[in-house]
Amino acid sequence: MKGAGRFRHLSASWRLWAETFQALSRSPGAVIGGLLFVAIIAVSLGFPLLYPRDPLAQELLSRLIPPFWQEGGSLAYPLGTDNLGRDVLVRILYGSRVSLLVGFSAVLVASVAGIALGLISGYYGGRVDHFIMRLADVFMAYPFMLLTISVIAVLGNSIFNLILVLGLSDWVTYARTIRGSVLSIKKKEFVMAARSVGTPHRVILLRHVFPNVLSPILVLGTVRVANIIIWESGLSFLGMGVPPPMPTWGRMLAEGRVYIADAWWLVTLPGLAIMLTILSINLLGDGLRDALDPRLRNIPG
Amino acid sequence: MLSITDLVIGFHTPRGTIHAVDGVSLSLDEGEVLGVVGESGCGKSVLALSVLGLLPQPPAFVAGGKILFRDQDLLKLPGDAWRRLRGNAIGMIFQEPMTALNPVFTVGNQLMEVFRVHRNLGRAEALRESVEMLAKVGVPAPERRVKEYPYQLSGGMRQRVMIAMALACNPDLLLADEPTTALDVSIQAQILELMIALKEDMGTAIMLITHDLGVVAEMTQRVAVMYTGRIMEEASTVTLFDNPLHPYTLGLMGAIPRADATFETEALTEIQGVVPGLGNLPPGCHFAPRCPRVMDVCRTEVPPLVAVAPDHRVACWAVTHG
């Protein structure tokens, strides 16, 4: 009776989570990534309680103040100010909300679209499959940045449009991953067995196929969140992202670029924030992949 | 009840069309157990899957023939009507109990599905029926077992669950595709006994597909011997074992170790050669290249299935004209 062990008393679906969590806690990378990620989310949600500042308030008399540890800096502006005298720390904190919101929502949009199309494509095959996969090829062949920029240019830049565009241009990865897993799952004998007792196709697809292809998507999702955050930063850098004046990491980079020789903190600190967030998510994703892997192999082949 | 006439099932392959089932005619009466015997790749499983309409199409296609089940031609049935027959009037047991259950659901969950699909039962009722069914197939502590996952069950237990699923709606016909091949010998006997008992109890007709003549002798009333998609010999089980006629049948029987034979007196015989690939079958009788009694006519003409006794049909030139 492998895999049951000390979680035997739990109901089965909880046992799966408990086991995954246990496997995660054995990997130092995942623990560090996870803790960092939880900390980032906690700070991004809770900072107004501890550091209530207005990210838009300009103080033209205190422009380009360096961080507090550098000469000329003060604890009134722990991470300094930008060219308009706005507090860099609070802007970075606000930026984290935008990045995380866009990252997770876009992944949600992409995975819902990708999972649906991938399931249909892989399970029904034939012409439906051809159509969806060729559509995917078109999306793959089209430069993503160009697509995003043109759509944003037409629809106007709002955070909602951004999420939609980023999400819809990323469905292909999910659809292909899902389709591949479905192709192998649908050949399994238990699918044949389900059909032999007269289970309708759509029930087989949702009940028998879908749960068996879910774990790769969980891993893929975490990795893609990181990617989307980078894309969002890139688009904001180009002025195509979340509209001003809402502070985002990408736009902070773009605006700070001009002052890079005089005020290093304007580009370095938001850049560091991006890096830490991506790092934590990637570490967590890697750990999750390793933790879920035995379960993938648990499906007898 | 089930009557298959001249069924031909082809497969499109990159190297051309092959016929996995080539003009098979079989019939099965109510409550009867028919054995279909043959080596691997002779089309036994394809035959069973075609009755359920579960062949992957493409590459498979029905090239001809009829499958009558209770006077309706299954091959002309719309997909949804056929689906409602599956699990309801026709059940199937698969060879590999290890892979035939979905690893992410409990046993009960999958058993309940049958009741919910066909009888529209609610959760509670379906669960009660499932427990009852598990008890019927001899799963101990069914109330606890329904909540367990396939990996927590042994092979024999899983096969019992599969049988429970196949028989859940009390089908008239059960297709058993090598139901005991993947099991330990001791468990095999238990499963076979269970199937016999359930058959007596529920009056289910069984089409038992196997390559094990011992299982056939024990379980069936009638046997069809298949080779490369064709029926070579068909007889009542008693007749076939008393008086096997076809050289292929004789070959199969010679390859079974006998309990009363000693090592010195009786060596096992083997059938020379290998089963030809379905892509390059010889013209005439498919068994000709391996046959000890081969004649010239065998290499050119397909032998018809001829009745040599009221209950005995054989397709062999040497037997009928030799």
* Closest by CA position to A218, among listed A145, A288, A137: A288
What pLDDT shows up at residue A219? Answer: 82
Class of domain A92-297: mainly alpha
Cβ–Cβ < 8 Å for B42, B229: yes
Separation of alpha carbons B294 and B246, rounded Å = 11
A118-122, B9-13, B269-273: which is most confident:
A118-122
pLDDT in tens, A95-153: 888 888 988 999 999 999 999 999 999 999 889 999 999 999 998 888 878 888 888 88
B50 in contact with chain A, both atoms CB, cutoff 8 A: no
Separation of alpha carbons B186 and B154, rounded Å = 13
What pLDDT shows up at residue A114? Answer: 93
B52 in contact with chain A, both atoms CB, cutoff 8 A: yes
A18-32, A101-115, A248-262, B79-93: which is most confident:
A101-115
Separation of alpha carbons B278 and B42, rounded Å = 9
Are B84 and A188 inside 8 Å of each other by CB? no
pLDDT in tens, B14-30: 888 888 888 888 888 88
B94 in contact with chain A, both atoms CB, cutoff 8 A: yes
Distance from CA of A168 to the nearest CA of B (A): 30
Q: Which residue has the higher pLDDT, A127 or B276?
A: A127
Cβ–Cβ < 8 Å for A234, A162: no
Return the HEC string of A92-138. Answer: HHHHHHHHHHHHHHHHHHHHHHHHHHHHHHHHHCHHHHHHHHHHHHH
Are B165 and A299 inside 8 Å of each other by CB? no
- Nearest by CB to residue B96, choosing from A1, A189, A298, is A189
Select from A196, A204, A214 the residue whose CB has the most chain B CBs within 10 Å, as the one to mutate to test that interface. Answer: A196
Distance from CA of A262 to the nearest CA of B (A): 59
- DSSP codes of every residue in A263-277: -THHHHHHHHHHHHH
Separation of alpha carbons A240 and A247, rounded Å = 13
Separation of alpha carbons A253 and A266, rounded Å = 7
Distance from CA of B211 to the nearest CA of A (A): 20
What pLDDT shows up at residue B30? Answer: 86
Please name every residue paired with B219 in a beta bridge, in sequence order, or none if there are none.
none
* Closest by CA position to A33, among listed A222, A282, A226, A289: A282
Cβ–Cβ < 8 Å for B213, B256: yes
Q: Tokens 């790749």 — which residue?
A: B41
Distance from CA of B229 to the nearest CA of A (A): 22
The percent of residues above 90 in pLDDT, for chain B, comes to 4
pLDDT exceeds 50 at position A208: yes
Domain boundaries, chain A: 92-297
- Nearest by CB to residue B99, choosing from A1, A189, A212, is A189
* Closest by CA position to B174, among listed B74, B56, B85: B85
Q: Which residue has the higher pLDDT, A250 or B234?
A: B234
What DSSP state is assigned to residue A87?
A: B
What pLDDT shows up at residue A4? Answer: 46
3-state secondary structure of B34: strand
**H helix or E strand, kind and range, residue A149:** helix A144-155
- Joined together, the tokens standing for residue B1 give 């009840």
- Joined together, the tokens standing for residue B237 give 């089980």
- Joined together, the tokens standing for residue A290 give 């390793």
B92 in contact with chain A, both atoms CB, cutoff 8 A: yes
pLDDT in tens, B31-84: 889 999 887 778 888 888 888 888 877 788 888 888 888 888 888 888 788 888
* Closest by CA position to B93, among listed B180, B27, B33, B21: B180
Return the HEC string of A202-230. Answer: HHHHHHHHHHHHHHHHHHHHHHHHHHHHH
User: What residue of A is the nearest CA neighbor of B165?
Assistant: A197
User: What residue of A is the nearest CA neighbor of B96?
Assistant: A189
pLDDT exceeds 90 at position B287: no
- DSSP codes of every residue in B40-78: TTSSHHHHHHHHHT-S-TTTEEEEEEEEEETTEEGGGS-
Cβ–Cβ < 8 Å for B298, B291: yes
* Closest by CA position to A191, among listed A128, A123, A117, A120: A123
pLDDT exceeds 70 at position B264: no
Strands annotated E in B170-293: 173-177, 205-210, 222-227, 230-236
Are B100 and A299 inside 8 Å of each other by CB? no
Cβ–Cβ < 8 Å for A84, A58: yes
B 265-294 near A (Cβ less than 8 A): none
Q: Which of A287-291, B68-72, B195-199, B208-212 has the lowest mean pLDDT?
A: A287-291
Burial grade of A16 (CB within 10 A; 0-12, 13-18, 19 or more): middle
Q: What is the ipTM of this complex?
A: 0.78
Q: Could you tell me the CA-to-CA distances from B321 to A89, B225, B310, B314 in Å, in that order?
A: 100, 20, 18, 12
Are B88 and A198 inside 8 Å of each other by CB? yes
A195 in contact with chain B, both atoms CB, cutoff 8 A: yes
A208 in contact with chain B, both atoms CB, cutoff 8 A: yes
B 223-262 near A (Cβ less than 8 A): none
Cβ–Cβ < 8 Å for A197, B166: yes
* Closest by CA position to A248, among listed A162, A188, A185: A162
Partners of B86 on chain A (C-beta within 8 Å) are 195-198
Partners of B12 on chain A (C-beta within 8 Å) are none
Q: Which residue type, as a one-letter code, is found at position A119? A: L
The packing angle between helices A144-155 and A214-237, to 10°, is: 70
Dihedral angle, C-alpha A70, A75, A76, A82, nearest 10 °: 30
B105 in contact with chain A, both atoms CB, cutoff 8 A: yes
Separation of alpha carbons A173 and A221, rounded Å = 10
A4 in contact with chain B, both atoms CB, cutoff 8 A: yes
Partners of B118 on chain A (C-beta within 8 Å) are 198
Distance from CA of A147 to the nearest CA of B (A): 38
Strands annotated E in B193-257: 205-210, 222-227, 230-236
pLDDT exceeds 70 at position A300: no
Separation of alpha carbons B164 and A193, rounded Å = 12
Separation of alpha carbons A207 and B117, rounded Å = 13
Burial grade of A301 (CB within 10 A; 0-12, 13-18, 19 or more): exposed
The packing angle between helices A144-155 and A159-168, to 10°, is: 150
Mean pLDDT of chain B: 84
B113 in contact with chain A, both atoms CB, cutoff 8 A: yes
